Amino acid sequence: SQKIEQNSEALNIQEGKTATLTCNYTNYSPAYLQWYRQDPGRGPVFLLLIRENEKEKRKERLKVTFDTTLKQSLFHITASQPADSATYLCALGTGANNLFFGTGTRLTVIP
């Protein structure tokens, strides 16, 4: 069966450290993978997209890697801040716009 698993439901990290979130998938052949941030009671906000032929993407303090052999994406937030506390969702895209979401990792950055 198809699965998208994010490594842990919750992750606590000290301010200033690098947070690393994992997204693993099975029985998908994604053309691209996206990461979103979701705050409680709000819709997701797009952060980064990485295509199947790309290994790494960066945007400010964010970095995403995509390994189609391992079927895994890693999402890093460097120099984490309390304002980074949120739920982070990975989403796989297999076609033009269909997205399949993971269950999310709730990140808490402790001051």
Partner 1 sequence: GAVVSQHPSWVICKSGTSVKIECRSLDFQATTMFWYRQFPKQSLMLMATSNEGSKATYEQGVEKDKFLINHASLTLSTLTVTSAHPEDSSFYICSAPPLGTSGGYSYEQYFGPGTRLTVT
Q: Which residue of 21, 34, 66, 86 would you call a contact of partner 1, by CB under 8 A?
A: 34
Stretch that binds partner 1, among 19-27, 33-41, 53-61, 78-86 (CB under 8 A): 33-41
Stretch that binds partner 1, among 19-27, 30-38, 61-69, 71-79 (CB under 8 A): 30-38
Distance CA 57, CA 50 (A): 6
Query: Interface with partner 1 includes 53 (CB under 8 A)?
Result: no
For the chain, state the CA radius of gyration.
Answer: 13
Amino acid identity for residue 8 in this structure:
S
Torsion angles phi and psi, residue 82, rounded to 5: -55, -30
Query: Interface with partner 1 includes 26 (CB under 8 A)?
Result: no
Distance CA 35, CA 27 (A): 19
Q: Can you give the binding site for partner 1, defined by CB under 8 A?
A: 4, 9, 32, 34, 36, 41-46, 49, 89, 93, 96-104
